[in-house]
Chain A
């Protein structure tokens, strides 16, 4: 194969030529992988070849080593490891040689490929000489090779985990990187590559950051780099500081004053990319302290691993004025631009985080700024003042904020309609939303919304929903939180008199020509959903009237006409919103017997529409329709059986959707809804469902988060069909047993432990459902052989002492179900188990009502079982 020509063809503007070239590359790769890879590395290393083919050869090589898909990635790793050793040595030598190439694209591509190979080989103790040979390069080579080598070290640190490189090599890497960063390095490209490499190497420097001298040195080099004349280096250096702020928060105390000075100067004087990173440093410190303080739980005897140094509290006298200055640097049209991110936005966001970190203390520092600017002629000052006010509404106590809000509310309401500047109105509407979100609701003692101003607020927000899309979207957001605040208001809501008008206005917004801008339509439907969710029985008839309206809207979207791809996207977005809205309505009306019966007259129509919506290919729409169908099944009860013949294939499709695992997870939940609705009438569909669920469990392509709900679903099915579950019992029990063995012991981070507990809960819910399903059936004895293992599982997780409350409640319930169903057959087994004594006693004395209730049930069932 004339590889250069093929690689050139593969980048041709002629589609046919390109396709042909891609085909022959694919063909060759399948025929002879080793030869193919050698050919590519030969192309990459050769100085005679054109840069574009060298670069493409490198990229194909890289893609042969790594993939986004986890499954594919594992395959590629295995494939590389099993390749012929000589060929691999030859490829690797070529890659290292390319680092010295005069062609920068070739060098840069080689850097990335080397890191990928290292990512595979170093954990297997292969290529031990790599780091050594890279380091020797740094000291000997021409400048461009030095730059490429430092870049390679950076990629390498990004690719491999710190534990596969020993401390000696880490020290050497850091030394090389820090030398490359220092002011004495004359070449800016080398210095930039070194600074970016340090960013990735910081995770390797645990030991070095624990040593005072080494840490001082590292910090000094980073701080010096923030003063470099080259803007890219300054930016990269601040990125390092941001990363250090979260990775080494507890080591920062000696440097924080200097860092403040550096960041303040950058925020005030430097170019925007640098200033943004400087602000981000403080936002990141806020994140850390908010986390730590949350773990303290507001009580200072608390036990966070990391102490809080209160950097923000100490810094606010200087930090807050600095952030307030940034608010005045708005861009003209930032509110219309979805992707905008500028210094004013970053500064305001940071101010909000500071308010959450320090609480009341921020208020006196911000109020003078608001008072001074809120009425100024220049829109920038009015907007900045409003934004400052909106930013500090979360964090300080209501007692501190409510007097301010009581003064400001009228001003805000009038600004929302009368201010000539759209930017000011946008921020004003957002601030009103924040006021309602944090200071309005049953949890707040002195209400800011009274009979006197409620009507005015509603009128102003509804009027504002006719404003430009970005302002209207914020007004919808404010209405969302206004409604939410009345969620627990009791039988009569202050919004009742306006309900009809609110709903009508929101529907009008969804029909605006420009409703797709600033996600206005989405906001309008979301607000409609919240208004419905928080409505009271008084307005139930009005919610019922909304049903045919939304049905008609959805009906209009499924009318079969040929659509362009843009129109199709628009249509599925709308279908998703409408299915979501119907779901909320179904749940609302279905929760009360009286409204349920009236609503159910629409059930056939709605179900028909949901089925036709499945014809569209959008995962979001499928998910929304599924969720809505689950709610419908719950409301309909046994009558849902009439929809099953048609619906079943979509149910099966959902269960098979591994790629969009959210759809799969939601469908598993809907199977549960259907089981509870149909009870034994679900039997004809169980073979298909159980087969698919068992298949899903054994697949390693399915996202792990779907597996616990599948186990719970076994329980739902067993409870619904009773002894009919016998035909699946062996398979289900064997899947449960192996999952139980895996989840008895936990090792790993918090996230893994949380997952394991979810898994345990799913397994236990399955056992409960199966036991209760077989109860009072002559086939109960089929369960006896499984009892020892289940009791062993209960004992095992009890001994581990890392159950959460949910698992504890389910686990003790299973003990009761086992005793209840097996009775005297299991009496001696139960008496031998730890669970029936220590675990049960612990649960009986639990302060959690649900655990206690389950435990009392278990106690009763056990005493019955052992007394016979």
Chain B
């Protein structure tokens, strides 16, 4: 029973730095685990809300559903839709890809001239490149293509787009932009603004969205040259009223990007997901190098092609809502090629071409080529077929 040691720590910090490192590591791991759980739960809720919104009469219809769910049914509140986009932007897997495919506003092909074009419409030259959603939140920015696959994951000067402690973006802050990524100058051209700094623009008119886009984007510094915290430059595109001089400027004007047709937006239209007649696209050889399909080598195939969806009654339809019937597929081909309802099929337009009567398709000479590329989420729209005809 020796005397008991009563020494106490002398001129020492209460905990060692090693202990501190250990505790900080545990803290980080716990935080990461929480995030992973949270993410799993959010994926669940966004997919659930989709499933419950889909028409119940067609439960396990196919890998890829074609019906564009009417917006009103999908989510009544624009706000909760924004949240879904934000959360979904971090996710992976086929579900998400499908989900994303539905979120962009898709123009129809321009097959006639709308009334009051000069008063109610904007026009701009569409940059050539990959159409994508750019989502900035929680200090990072993700761009997703139309088929849902991630294009880039990068820091940006968009609000909440990079981890910079400048105190400007709160945790709730985020942005969703409708962009085209232009490879040549590695620039995201913003063609529409869906959310800015936590503020939803889904329910705003195009007029307001474009105004907001032009003022806010510049202000944020996102148009600056790339830097450590800003990997890609963003740029707005020049938008014109659809009067004669506007059309002329859009059609022939010099822009820093390669043009791929003209886009027409109705000034009063809200941001509507899926195909809409309130946004239109026009292509001809003067304003687009992609006016007609090219093959892998950039050569024009002898026949133009169209992608259509196979329905259970062997009918071939477009992605329009309601779908437009292009023809019927021979039962033999279906059996031989092992095709299922919902498959997307590629056809060449034969010498007979497409015959339209009074703006309606009467007859199409289709030659079956095979299944379309797996990354493809949609059939072509009716208006593409129409425009092909007009060439």
Contacts and interface: CB of A to CB of B under 8 A. Distances in A.
Interface of A: 151, 154-155, 158, 196-197, 199-200, 235-236, 239, 242, 273, 276-277, 280, 283, 340-341, 345-346, 349, 426-427, 430, 437, 474, 477, 480, 490-491, 522, 525-526, 529-530, 536-537, 540-541, 580, 583-584, 587, 591-595, 598, 620, 623-624, 627, 630-631, 634, 662, 666, 669, 672-673, 676, 712, 715-716, 719, 765, 768-769, 772-773, 775-776, 813, 816-817, 820, 857, 860-861, 864
Contacts of B3: 235-236, 239, 273
Interface in B14-43: 16-18, 21-22, 24-26, 28-29, 32-33, 36-37, 40-41
B349 to A, nearest CB: 40
Contacts of B164: 491, 537, 592
A361 B28 CA distance: 41
A750 B325 CA distance: 74
Contacts of A716: 33, 36
Interface in B35-94: 36-37, 40-41, 44-45, 47-48
Given A199-B1, A673-B32, A719-B36, A627 B10 contact: no
Interface residue SS majority, chain A: helix
A202 to B, nearest CB: 12
A772 B6 contact: no
The residue in A346, A349, A591, A627 that gathers the most chain B C-beta atoms within 10 A of its C-beta is A627
A666 B18 CA distance: 13
Nearest to A576: B18
B159 interface: no
B297 interface: no
Contacts of B95: 776
Contacts of B155: 592-594
Contacts, number: 140
Contacts of A595: 228
A772 B41 contact: yes
Contacts of A772: 37, 40-41, 44
B261 interface: no
A813 B45 CA distance: 14
Contacts of A672: 29, 32-33
B163 interface: yes
B381 to A, nearest CB: 31
Which 5 pairs, one residue from A and one from B, show the smallest C-beta to C-beta distance? A592-B163, A526-B17, A772-B40, A594-B155, A593-B155
Given A430-B11, A593-B140, A491 B166 contact: yes
Given A196-B1, A580-B21, A536 B165 contact: yes
B17 A676 contact: no
B221 to A, nearest CB: 14
Contacts of A861: 44
Contacts of B169: none
A553 to B, nearest CB: 17
A816 B41 contact: yes
A673 B4 contact: no
A775 B32 contact: no
Most buried by A among B8, B24, B153, B162: B8
Contacts of B8: 283, 346, 349
Interface residues of B, number: 44
A587 B24 contact: yes
A628 to B, nearest CB: 9
Contacts of A155: 1
B167 interface: yes
A277 B6 contact: yes
20 contacts: A154-B1, A200-B1, A236-B3, A345-B10, A490-B165, A491-B164, A580-B21, A584-B21, A594-B162, A623-B22, A624-B18, A627-B22, A627-B25, A662-B22, A669-B25, A672-B32, A712-B33, A772-B37, A773-B40, A861-B44
B13 interface: yes
B25 A630 contact: yes
Contacts of A158: 1
B48 A864 contact: yes
B26 A594 contact: no
A745 to B, nearest CB: 26
Given A630-B25, A864-B48, A591 B163 contact: yes
B389 to A, nearest CB: 43
A200 B4 CA distance: 11
A583 B153 CA distance: 24
B6 A276 contact: yes
A428 to B, nearest CB: 12
Contacts of A765: 33
Contacts of A768: 37
Contacts of B4: 199, 239
A317 B28 CA distance: 48
B7 A860 contact: no
A766 to B, nearest CB: 11
A627 to B, nearest CB: 5
A676 B165 contact: no
B31 to A, nearest CB: 10
B229 interface: yes
Nearest to A235: B3
B154 interface: yes
A662 B6 CA distance: 27
B148 interface: no
B163 A594 contact: yes
A480 B17 CA distance: 10
Nearest to A281: B6
A673 B29 contact: yes
B139 interface: yes
Contacts of A273: 3
A626 to B, nearest CB: 9
A541 B139 CA distance: 18
A768 B38 CA distance: 11
A716 B29 CA distance: 10
Nearest to B29: A669
A196 B2 CA distance: 9
B32 A666 contact: no
A591 B164 CA distance: 10
A341 B163 contact: no
Nearest to A474: B11
Contact of B139 (A346, A592, A773): A592
A820 B10 contact: no
B224 to A, nearest CB: 14
Contacts of A584: 21
Contacts of A341: 6-7, 10
A116 to B, nearest CB: 15
A634 B28 contact: yes
Contact of A583 (B21, B139, B228): B21
A854 to B, nearest CB: 9
Given A591-B163, A634-B28, 13 more contacts: A474-B11, A491-B167, A536-B165, A537-B164, A592-B162, A593-B153, A666-B22, A672-B32, A712-B33, A716-B33, A776-B44, A776-B47, A776-B95
Nearest to B95: A776
B40 to A, nearest CB: 4
Residue from B8, B17, B26, B155 having most chain A Cβ neighbours under 10 A: B17
A768 B30 CA distance: 14
Contacts of A676: 32-33, 36
A530 B17 contact: yes
A748 B32 CA distance: 32
B37 A490 contact: no
B45 to A, nearest CB: 7
Given A490-B165, A634-B28, A775 B6 contact: no
Contacts of B21: 529, 580, 583-584, 624, 627
A383 to B, nearest CB: 12
Nearest to B228: A594
Contacts of A541: 228
Contacts of B163: 591-594
A816 B25 CA distance: 28
B6 A598 contact: no
Tell which of A631, A666, A772 has the most Cβ of chain B within 10 Å: A772
Contacts of A525: 17
